[in-house]
Amino acid sequence: MEKSNKLVIFLGLIFFTNLLFAQNFVDAIRLSEPGIGSNARALGMGNAYIALSNDFSGTFFNPAGLGLVRYGELVGSLNYNSFNNKSTLYNNTTNFSNSNTELNQFGLVLPFPVEQGSLVFSFGYNNNKDFNKAVKFDGYNPNDHSMIQDLTSYNDDLAYELAVSYAGISSDETIIHGQLNQSGSMLDKGGITTWTFGTAVEVAPNVYIGGTLDILGGTYKKEKEYYEDDIYNVYDNTTLTDPTLPETADFQTFFLNDVLDWTLSGFDFKLGFLTTVKDLLNLGLVIKFPSNYSIEENYFIDGYADFAATRFILSEPYDVTIEYDIKTPFEFMGGVAFNIMGIAIISGDVSYIDYTQMEFTEGLTPTDISQNNKEIKQYTREVLNLSAGAEVTIPNTSLSIRGGFMYRPSPYFDDPSKYDKKYITAGVGYVAGGSIALDFAFARGWWEDFGDNYSSNLSRNYQTITVNNFTFTLTYMF
């Protein structure tokens, strides 16, 4: 295989990597979409918490709500997340799931005695967002296309080195013409975490302002395996995928292993306002300033091709690390909460995000930054996220029951509503001995999605997704 040399292979793999892993607007969306929080009381009420936030979770929702805290609080939350995906490729459906359990909140809230009003400080840890995802697909493609052909059309040396393409007169060629079984899986894991410092002050009777500084960290890892198998022996022992190599007779399997690994760091800031009206009505407003992320990203690509007599492997798997920065958009939030006779609370929130304001700022070439930011403008849109919830305290008890709903429109331009994320939530809370609060919440989300294995709308798996979250919060008041 005279064509193969380190430089050509390296350049070819870079091009292949750009096709699969190029930093683009999808990465910016991954960081910009809000998570669903980490406190059981808030989650039970559908995260309609901007006008409440009278506990440590105010650092996540509205820091001005910390000013309503009258006693010290030590709080911790545990969360279980299950992501379930029913994927259909060429009319064949495959189910797959991924789950994780983690301590997703730990914090301290300290009110300080003042002559008038209130002054409250908080410090702690939040897991702001979970990247947990999964998809698995398996279907026979009877059409005249494949990943092998797609790579060959780009003159990519990965296909060449695995002997599923060969050097033609002016470009690479392949005798593969589809009719392969395509299967694989993707697992995503990781999350965005913050160390948060918050404060709130009562600047006038029943008027509070607050701020939160978040030191951001986290990880994201996507692991993908992809197979193309000649299950019907279309390319039998009379067919050579490289006419110059007899050992390329009887093609059986083409395999790629792709791993994308991020380490995240950054910061952001929230500014909140809250006012209460005669203990009957709360109004809250929040500005979340852009998060500034620095990303250290590692690509790894390996693969092989099996024939009846031999296996071709990459002589040097592709493994490279780069660094770049992404800035998320502003988020503007408002909420209202009605207190009904001290027995029930009904609340609603709305948040505005203009995803077209996302930006790649540093690290990539000027051309790549410009292209990515143009695609952000072209493929994303403004959205209004909606939340509603209620809490009812059973008379003469310390027991509360909760319910809520969340609606998160897709950030992609022109997406139909089936791609919007919907959640229903429920919860229960109990205060023991006046100083220990036990809260439990459940949230179920559902939406549709799709993924392309290569090119656009050729090898596409259609996904029906359901997500279950269980959150338990323990609070000690002193």
pLDDT band at 315 (very low <50, low <70, confident <90, very high): confident
- Collapsing DSSP to helix, strand or coil, 228 comes out as strand
Which tens digits make up the pLDDT trace of 162-182?
Answer: 999 999 988 999 999 999 999
The reply to whether 253 falls in a domain is: yes
Is a pLDDT exceeding 80 seen at residue 323?
yes
Phi, psi of 188 (to 5 degrees): -110, 140
pLDDT for 156: 81
CATH code assigned at 88: 2.40.160.60
Q: What single-letter amino acid sits at 376?
A: I
- Could you tell me which residues are beta bridge partners of residue 182? 139, 228
Q: Which of 1, 8, 34 is nearest to 386 (CA)?
A: 34
The reply to whether 97 falls in a domain is: yes
pLDDT for 2: 40
Sign of the dihedral defined by the CA atoms of residues 455, 14, 319, 147, in that order:
positive
Helix, strand, coil proportions of the chain in percent (round to 5)?
15, 55, 25
Is a pLDDT exceeding 60 seen at residue 216?
yes
Token pair belonging to 100:
């994780």
pLDDT for 15: 36
- Residue where the block lists tokens 């948060």: 196
Please give the full DSSP string across 149-207, using - where no structure is assigned: HHHHHTT-HHHHHTTSSEE-SSSEE----S-EEEEEEEEEEEEEEEEEEEEEEEEETTE
Is a pLDDT exceeding 90 seen at residue 107?
yes
Report the alpha-carbon distance of residue 106 to residue 475 in Å, rounded: 10
pLDDT for 14: 35
CA 362 to chain centre: 22
Domain span at residue 289 reads 6-477
Average pLDDT, the chain: 94
Contacts of 103 (CB under 8 A, 6+ apart): 76, 77, 78, 127
Is a pLDDT exceeding 50 seen at residue 114?
yes
Percent residues over pLDDT 90 in the chain: 90
The reply to whether 406 falls in a domain is: yes
pLDDT for 347: 98
User: DSSP strand E in 230-309: where?
Assistant: 251-277, 281-288, 292-307
Is a pLDDT exceeding 90 seen at residue 115?
no
pLDDT for 23: 85
Token pair belonging to 267:
């910061």
Other beta carbons less than 10 A from residue 235's beta carbon: 22
Report the alpha-carbon distance of residue 298 to residue 301 in Å, rounded: 10
The reply to whether 83 falls in a domain is: yes
Which tens digits make up the pLDDT trace of 58-67?
Answer: 999 999 999 9
Q: Choose the weakest-confidence range: 104-113, 152-161, 388-397.
A: 152-161
| 324 or 169: which leads in pLDDT | 324
Report the alpha-carbon distance of residue 299 to residue 321 in Å, rounded: 6
The reply to whether 328 falls in a domain is: yes
Is a pLDDT exceeding 90 seen at residue 16?
no
Q: What single-letter amino acid sits at 247?
A: E
pLDDT for 379: 97
The reply to whether 53 falls in a domain is: yes
The reply to whether 296 falls in a domain is: yes
Residue 173 CA neighbour count, 13 Å, CB half: 9
Report the alpha-carbon distance of residue 93 to residue 72 in Å, rounded: 52
Q: Which of 333, 113, 117, 326 is nearest to 220 (CA)?
A: 326
Our count of domains for the chain comes to 1
Judge whether 408 and 375 are in contact, CB under 8 Å.
no
Is a pLDDT exceeding 80 seen at residue 5?
no
Which tens digits make up the pLDDT trace of 227-284?
Answer: 999 999 999 999 999 999 999 999 999 999 999 999 999 999 999 999 999 989 999 9
Q: Is 176 exposed, middle or buried (0-12, 13-18, 19+ CB in 10 A)?
A: buried
DSSP state of 289: P
Is a pLDDT exceeding 90 seen at residue 21?
no
* Model confidence pTM above 0.85: yes
Report the alpha-carbon distance of residue 7 to residue 249 in Å, rounded: 28
The reply to whether 1 falls in a domain is: no
Other beta carbons less than 10 A from residue 470's beta carbon: 16
Residue 210 CA neighbour count, 13 Å, CB half: 40
Please give the full DSSP string across 70-123, using - where no structure is assigned: -S-EEEEEEEEEEEEEEEEETTEEEEEEEEEEEEEEEEEEEEE--SSS-EEEEE
Vertex 247 angle, CA 241 and 252, to 5°: 60
pLDDT for 155: 86
- Could you tell me which residues are beta bridge partners of residue 101? 80
Report the alpha-carbon distance of residue 61 to residue 51 in Å, rounded: 9
Report the alpha-carbon distance of residue 24 to residue 10 in Å, rounded: 21
pLDDT band at 22 (very low <50, low <70, confident <90, very high): low
